[in-house]
Structures are given as structure tokens and as C-alpha cells.
Structure 1
Amino acid sequence: MFTLRVDAETVSRTRLSPSPASESVAWLKLTTAAGHHPVFGDPGPLARASLAHPDVALLAHLLPRGGAGYTPDLLTPQPGAGTAYHDLLDEQIARIEATAQEDLELQVLTGTQAHWSRPLPAAVRQVAESGRMQRRLASGLARFWRDALSDGWPELRSIIDQDITHRARTVVGHGVGRVLGSLHPGIGWTGDAITFDSAWDGELDVTGRDLVLAPSVLSWPGAVIQVDVPGQVVLYYPAHRVGTGRDRKPATIARVVGAARAALLADLETARSTTELSTRIGYTPGTVSYHLSALHRAGLVSKVRDGRFVLYQRTSQAGVLTED
């Protein structure tokens, strides 16, 4: 069991926040492992196609495999206090890029060596030691988000917001301690400490620090504690009511298409140009072009040139995504 020793200041500075970076990393873990989420299913072809980008592939090399549990905490920075919801991801990406070289090497080189049964590839070690890894990891997370999650984020956010509202009501009615003791069966509250069921024993004094409670959807039903970044303490816990059948239809996120891309696929039974699609769907040509590029990389649409126009049409692989 792992124990976090807290004081009144820590409790008073405890807050709830989404973490877009941790949701992205959880979805990328499933993608690289060819896994399926117990509620939301297969990450889908758009997520897999994103792995072809070298910065996304580099990020994937830092994720655990084969039962290893350690993930460098620098990949999921603590959400900042007072940051507007729509700025959270940009702030977390900026924090990844600003990671001190010493901290990066401690987590990426020393941490993985201590916790993983497999060595890091030599090319990945070389990037880590070069000082260029921070920028590339930030780029990789931003790219995977755009390719695989940005369109579906409003639905995920809705689930997370419902959990935060539920926890806030508990604080009002029963206090912070009740929330800390009800996050997950493996997380306990003793009055001066948070206990966390873990394969490794230990104790850490986090008195005076901010404590962030981050409801998670895509790492559901697990719970994770994050303490390796100096000054940061984050508890990721499964969002309330995920998997109860009340949250949403599983197919939407499982397909990782989202409203804009679903609308485009539905309208591409017939080959159409970007301009025609823009008029029919109601998005700007630039937005349509962006989504078509992502769908094309994933093999969900084909494109052919017809005179001055490039015509797009959904592929047979995309047929399952347009079924009711």
C-alpha cells in the first residue's frame, strides 16, 4: 500500500479538474497495445493511423507494455489552477515542452530502466539525451489529440463534468473527506492520509502541496496516482457512472469519428469535392479539408483527381462507421 501524508493545507487546496493529456495518453496506450476499452471499445483507424507520425510514435515508445505499470509523469502534467477549460490541453502541452532536461532523463531513462522489463530502443535514448525529446513529445501529444480525440472531446467532457458536479455536491453536503474516501475501492481516506492499493509499498509527505483529483473516462475503471513531478500530486480515478449504460452509446468514441467526420462520411457515399462538402455540411473549406486528410490517412476515404477538383468518397472500410 502507498500512503500520501497530507495536512489541512493540502485538503484546503484540493481541487477537481479534467486532464485532456491523461485522456490522450490513456487512449494512445490502448491504441499501441491493440487493446479495447471496456466501455468505448476499439480506438479505431484514426487513432492507429496517427501512430505513423514520428512524434506520436516516439510518445508511444514511452508507454508501458506487457503489464509494466510505470508511465513517465511528465507526459500527463498536473492541470493548472485557474486555467480555463478550453486552455487546459494547450497548457499541459506547454508544460511537457518546458520539462527540465534533468527531470526528463530521470523519468525516461532511469524510471523506465527501474520499472520496465524491456529496454528503451537506442534511438529513443538518443533523442532523450539530445535535449530534443520535450519538443517532440509535446508535438506528438498535440498530433494524436487532433487526429484521434479532438472531435469526440465534447462528449468526454460532458461525462467528466457530470462527475465533477457530483463530487462538488458531495463536498457541499459531506466535506472533502467523503469525496477522498469514495473515489475508488482502492483509494482510502484516514483523516490525515490518502491510502492507495499498490503493488509497491511506500509513504510520501505531500503536506502543503496542491492535490488534483482528475476524473478519467478513457483509463476507466483504473485509478492512478502521480507524484514523480516535483510539487505535483494527481489522483486519476474512474469517472462516476461510466459503464452503467447511462453515460452514452459506446459506438461514438469507439469509432473515434466525432460529429464532423461522421457527417462527412455519411455524405460521401457519392464522390464530392471539398467545396461541395463545405456547402452541404456547413463547415469552412479549411475545416473540411482538415477532417478529410485525417479520414484519408486512416483509409476511411479515397481521393481521385477529376480535372481541377479532388473528389473524396468513403471506402468500404468506412461502411461500418456509417451504420445506425
Structure 2
Amino acid sequence: MPGKTQLRLGRIDTVAVSVVPHAGATLMSLLADVLGERPQGVPPHWRRALRAAAPAVTGRVVGPLFSPAYSQVPDSVTMTGTFPGAGIDAMFEELAELPPDRLTAELESDFDGRVPAQWRPVVNDPRRFIADYAAVLRGLWDAFAPIWRRARPLLDRETERVGVASVTGRLDAVLSGLSPRTGLDGTTMLLPDPNPVVADLGHRPVSLVPLVSGSRASVFSIDRDDLVWIGYPVPGLGRLWDEQPPPGITDRLALVLGPVRAEILRQAGRLNHMGDVAAELRCSPSTATYHCTQLEQAGLIVRYRRGRQVRLRRTADGDALVDLMS
């Protein structure tokens, strides 16, 4: 199936599943969306704030990692290479101590001695790449860490949800509804992948990794002999992003309404229908509908149907609030 890796599970009721929150997996998802142009559903206001937190070396760091031609990243720099591993600070220490020749050898091995053009500057100066890469990741994490801490109740709730599904024989419902980008076809997991493969789970356990990044987050690893792990958006993520504005935010409308609803209200004259809203925010239609419902109940927008589309416009009160806060 084009664009989807197929992971054949066998009998789902025999699959050993656990939930493993992992800061490094979330950080890699954020890196892909915010700097790598691989959308994971991070809201625009947070993408801007996190991008501003990245150091100036970002361009030469992310280019090799997210080239359209390759999806392969050396394990030693994924922040998930030792999954489940230790805490985020230990991961940063391990990255800082990564021997340059180990990275070079891994690249040579991964690409069978024919290192692609975008990775050659890294091979020529691996020490500089490691230092720059660590600085980019640290900048993103320092800006994002408050959100990770606030996500703990969501992660705990997800651990409980999956545990209940496992003991009641409902894992198929969990696996089929992990993400808008994943799916379950019979007993085969479908995972989005620029370079899709077909693999058997065999007797390996599955670690589900709830990601605190975006509504379309998806990172995974099926190559290890001892386990498979699959990252997906933690349920309830949309409200978490909206609870707290990005660091340093000075947008008065966002401080009053929350960043997501402020963006919708401000753009209501340009975003003519609900599909535009979901596309602009890179969120699911249900998330866009939730925020628009709150704005409508506050008397700031109205929604109406024209043909097959649900359209929206600001009310007089909505116009007045935008003008007052601009």
C-alpha cells in the first residue's frame, strides 16, 4: 500500500501492549514539524514560538534529517535510540558525548557506504554537526518543557485507557483509532512512511508512545529485535495546547481567548469555511469544530450552511473585539 508501512500483528488478543510516555519521541515529532517541514499537526502559534527558540544553525542541521528522498536517521541521533531509556536530561548528555566516529560509521553502514549528498557535510565534520544538532534540540525542548510537564495527567489517563482495553479484549479499538494517519486493516497496522515496508510483529511486544506534539503526530520504529514502538497523539492534546500561550506571547487577543481561538477569530474573514480552519491550524475537523463552537457560543462568530459547506463569519461583537485588541 503506497505511503503506508504494513505491520502484520497476527492475533491481536495475543499482542503484549504497554504505554510508554517518552520525551525524546515527542521531541523528534516536534523537530519534524517545526523545523523539518514534515507536518505533525502542531498548531501555528506554537510552531512560530518553537521555531523562534531554535538557534541560527537550524538550516544545516535539519537538512540531512528531513530530506524528501530519505526517511532514515541514524539511531544515535534520534533521541529514541535507547528507547525506552532514561529521562530527557540523560538523553542530552548521551548526545553530547556521542563519539563523532560512531556517527560516521553508522552513516556509512546505513547507506551501504554510499552516503547521500545531504549527509556528506556531516561525515566531513561530524563533531560540528553533533554540537549544532544538540543546540537545536535543546532550544526546542527548553521552550516546550512546560507543556510536557502539564501533559502528565493526559499521559496517565492514556496509560489507564490502554490498560483497560488490554484486559477487556478491546485492543483492536485502541489500535484502529490511534491517529488520523494510522489504521488497522484486519490484523495489520498501517503506519505512514515515505519509504514503506512490510514487516511481521512476530513475538515482539508493542510499546504505544503517546506524543505531546501535534494532532497528526506519527513516529515509530519496527526494526528492533526486542520490541516495536508506535507514537501517536495523546488524546486530549488539542485542549492542552490551548490552555497556555507560547513563551513570550504578547498577543492581547490570544491572552483573552487562547491562541487557537484568537487565530480563528482574526482570520474568520479570510477562512471562509470549516475546511479552511482545519487546514490553517493543521488540526482535525473535530478540533476546529470545538473551537468554533466556543466562539459561536460567545457571540463572536456565526456559522451557516451554504450548499455542502459550513461557512463562518465574525459578528459585530467579534469585529469589535479584534479591533480593540489589535
Alignment TM-score > 0.5, same fold? yes
Please give the alpha-carbon distance, in whole angstroms, between the structure 1 residues aligned to 2:39 and 2:195.
27
Q: Deviations over 1:247-285 (max 9, x none)?
A: 2362625x2459xx9xxxx9xxxxxxxxxxxxxxxxxxx
- CA separation of 1:25 and 1:111: change in aligned 2, threshold 3 A: farther
Farther off after superposition, 30-39 or 222-231: 30-39
Please give the alpha-carbon distance, in whole angstroms, between the structure 2 residues aligned to 1:108 and 1:157.
38
Alignment of 1:224-239 (within 5 A): 224-228=219-223, 231=226, 233-239=228-234
Aligned partner (choices 137, 141, 151) of residue 141 of structure 1: 137
Aligned partner (choices 182, 203, 208) of residue 198 of structure 2: 203
Across the aligned residues of Structure 1 and Structure 2, the Cα RMSD in angstroms comes to: 4.4
Please give the alpha-carbon distance, in whole angstroms, between the structure 2 residues aligned to 1:235 and 1:70.
16
Q: Deviations over 1:40-79 (max 9, x none)?
A: 3232346424222x4x6554234326x6672526214167
Q: Which SS does the other structure have where 1:250 is aligned?
A: helix
- CA separation of 1:171 and 1:79: change in aligned 2, threshold 3 A: farther
Partner of 1:123: 121
Aligned partner (choices 149, 157, 165) of residue 162 of structure 1: 157
- CA separation of 1:169 and 1:58: change in aligned 2, threshold 3 A: farther
Q: Which runs of 5+ in 1 are unaligned?
A: 114-118, 267-322
Q: Identity, % of aligned pairs?
A: 17
Partner of 1:44: 48
Partner of 2:71: 70
Q: Is the 8 A contact 2:211 2:233 kept in 1?
A: yes
Q: Is the 8 A contact 1:64 1:70 kept in 2?
A: yes
- CA separation of 1:238 and 1:205: change in aligned 2, threshold 3 A: same
Deviation at 1:136, TM superposition (A): 5.6
Q: Deviations over 1:5-61 (max 9, x none)?
A: 446899654321122123223323333368997563232346424222x4x655423
TM-score by length of 2: 0.56
Deviation at 1:195, TM superposition (A): 3.5
Q: Deviations over 1:127-155 (max 9, x none)?
A: 34x6x755664454234312x21233212
Partner of 1:304: none
Please give the alpha-carbon distance, in whole angstroms, between the structure 1 residues aligned to 2:109 and 2:189.
26
Farther off after superposition, 155-164 or 233-242: 155-164
Matched, 1:89 2:88: yes
Aligned length: 243
Q: Which SS does the other structure have where 1:213 is aligned?
A: strand
Partner of 2:215: 220
Q: Is the 8 A contact 1:187 1:197 kept in 2?
A: no
Q: Is the 8 A contact 2:50 2:144 kept in 1?
A: no
Q: Is the 8 A contact 1:3 1:204 kept in 2?
A: yes
Q: Which SS does the other structure have where 2:18 is aligned?
A: strand
TM-score by length of 1: 0.56
Farther off after superposition, 72-81 or 4-13: 4-13
Amino acid at match of 2:121: A
Q: Which SS does the other structure have where 1:44 is aligned?
A: helix
Q: Which SS does the other structure have where 2:44 is aligned?
A: coil
Partner of 2:244: 252
Deviation at 1:188, TM superposition (A): 1.0
Q: Deviations over 1:204-248 (max 9, x none)?
A: 2342434221112314224333235665532111222333xxx23
Please give the alpha-carbon distance, in whole angstroms, between the structure 1 residues aligned to 2:172 and 2:26.
26
Farther off after superposition, 174-183 or 89-98: 89-98
Q: Which SS does the other structure have where 2:199 is aligned?
A: strand
Partner of 1:151: 146
Farther off after superposition, 10-19 or 216-225: 10-19
